[in-house]
Amino acid sequence: MASQVRFDYSLASNVISEDEIKSMEKITNDAKDVLLSKSGAGSDFLGWIDLPVDYDKDEFARIQKAAQKIQSDSEVLLVIGIGGSYLGARAAIEFLRHGFYNSVSKEIRKTPEIYYCGNSLSGTYLKQLIEVVGDRDFSVNIISKSGTTTEPAVAFRIFKEMLENKYGKEEAAKRIYATTDKAKGALKNLATEEGYETFVVPDDVGGRFSVLTAVGLLPIAVSGADITKLMEGAADMRQTCLNKDFAENDSLKYAAIRNILLRKGKSVEILCNYEPSLHYVSEWWKQLFGESEGKDQKGLFPASVDLTTDLHSMGQFIQDGSRIMFETVMELENPSLDVTINEEPVDLDGLNYLSGKTLDFINKSAMKGTQLAHTDGNVPNLSVKLPKQDEFSLGQLFYFFEFACGVSGYILGVNPFNQPGVESYKANMFALLGKPGYEAQREELMKRL
Ligand SMILES: O=P(O)(O)OC[C@H]1O[C@H](O)[C@H](O)[C@@H](O)[C@@H]1O
pLDDT in tens, 291-332: 999 999 999 999 999 999 999 999 999 999 999 999 999 999
What mean pLDDT comes out for the span 432-441? 95
Mutate to test the pocket of ligand 1, among 182, 422, 424 (most ligand atoms within 8 A of CB): 422
**320, 12, 266, 319 alpha-carbon torsion, rounded to 10°:** 10
Mutate to test the pocket of ligand 1, among 79, 80, 82, 154 (most ligand atoms within 8 A of CB): 82
d(C-alpha 352, C-alpha 368), whole Å: 21
Is the C-beta atom of 291 inside 6 A of ligand 1?
Answer: yes
Cite the active site residues: 291, 426
Model confidence at 367, in pLDDT bands (50, 70, 90)?
Answer: very high
pLDDT digits 0-9 by tens, 21-46: 999 999 999 999 999 999 999 999 99
Q: What is the percentage of the chain residues whose pLDDT exceeds 90?
A: 99
Segment holding 123, helix H or strand E: helix 123-133
Which DSSP state fits 34?
H
Give just the sign of the alpha carbon dihedral 191, 197, 202, 206: negative
Cα atoms found within 13 Å of the Cα of residue 291, Cβ hemisphere only: 18
Q: SS3 for 272?
A: strand
Is the C-beta atom of 82 inside 6 A of ligand 1?
Answer: yes
Residue 9: phi, psi to the nearest 5?
-120, 20
Res 217 pLDDT > 90: yes
Closest atom of ligand 1 to 84 CA is: 16
Which DSSP state fits 340?
B
Cα Dmax for the chain: 77
Instruction: Answer yes or no: are the C-beta atoms of 36 and 242 closer than 8 Å.
Output: yes
Q: What per-residue confidence (pLDDT) applies to 2? A: 57
Is the C-beta atom of 302 inside 6 A of ligand 1?
Answer: no
d(C-alpha 427, C-alpha 449), whole Å: 16
Closest atom of ligand 1 to 210 CA is: 16
Is the C-beta atom of 295 inside 6 A of ligand 1?
Answer: no
Closest atom of ligand 1 to 149 CA is: 4
Distances in Å between the Cα of 24 and the Cα atoms of 21, 39, 41, 325, 328 are 5, 20, 20, 20, 19
pLDDT digits 0-9 by tens, 144-199: 999 999 999 999 999 999 999 999 999 999 999 999 999 999 999 999 999 999 99
Is the C-beta atom of 145 inside 6 A of ligand 1?
Answer: yes
Q: What per-residue confidence (pLDDT) applies to 247? A: 97
C-beta atoms surrounding 350 within 10 Å = 8
Res 285 pLDDT > 80: yes
Model confidence at 362, in pLDDT bands (50, 70, 90)?
Answer: very high
Is the C-beta atom of 144 inside 6 A of ligand 1?
Answer: yes
Which residue's C-alpha comes closest to atom 10 of ligand 1? 422
